[in-house]
Amino acid sequence: DSGVTQTPKHLITATGQRVTLRCSPRSGDLSVYWYQQSLDQGLQFLIQYYNGEERAKGNILERFSAQQFPDLHSELNLSSLELGDSALYFCASSAGGRGLDEQYFGPGTRLTVT
Amino acid sequence: AQRVTQPEKLLSVFKGAPVELKCNYSYSGSPELFWYVQYSRQRLQLLLRHISRESIKGFTADLNKGETSFHLKKPFAQEEDSAMYYCALSANRLAFGKGNQVVVIP
């Protein structure tokens, strides 16, 4: 167990809807990262927050947004959902904000858009 | 831009045979490279990083800047090595390859 928790485990929703995925980092970790894993694209970095501030941005669609709260948990909001958004969404955390830091991954949230 | 390529999606090897997972990267700066592993029903976790120059579970990986490669090797595969392996490059963010599914045949 990495200490990173994600809720919910599974989510099934319809196209056009909006969902929120939640991540709690390991105790003491300041950085949270979000990734999308799909069969064709592999593991894609979406966004990183460090101590409440956005630190790095990857291939995140404009329909998606994230934030990190003062207690360091993070939420990923996905709106106007499309079938292609069906994927496994991982969150990871690390102690610092640097790329050298080992990232600890959560179990993922499986999103199915129907 | 940083990019990681893992050319083989699936690799099947017999127990006791050598394993080599290829990873090539493109990055203009000085790269930091990692291998992450995901065993069945477990989370993605760090296997090794190039700066440590260590062997983990019998796996080693050498950074070859001339060939821009960071191939993962193990001389004798074990059944418990069956997993998904991801090569990753870190600059301002971690970029993953698409992964290699390794199946070790008993």
Length of chain A: 114
Average pLDDT over residues B10-14: 95
B9 touches chain A (CB under 8 A): no
User: Which residues of chain B does A33 touch, with a Cβ-Cβ cutoff of 8 Å?
Assistant: 93-94
Alpha-carbon distance of A92 to B57, in angstroms, equals 23
| Interchain pair B98, A41: CB under 8 A | yes
Task: Kindly identify which residue of chain A lies nearest to residue B33, measuring between CA atoms.
Answer: A100
In this predicted model, which residue has the larger pLDDT, A39 or A38? A38
In this predicted model, which residue has the larger pLDDT, A79 or B94? A79
Q: Helix, strand, coil shares of chain B as percentages rounded to 5?
A: 5, 55, 45
Distance from CA of B18 to the nearest CA of A (A): 25
Average pLDDT over residues A97-106: 83
β-pairing verdict for A31-38 and A104-105:
unpaired
Alpha-carbon distance of B87 to B37, in angstroms, equals 9
Q: What's the pLDDT score for residue A72?
A: 96
Task: Kindly identify which residue of chain B lies nearest to residue A6, measuring between CA atoms.
Answer: B43
Tokens representing B22 are 């290829």
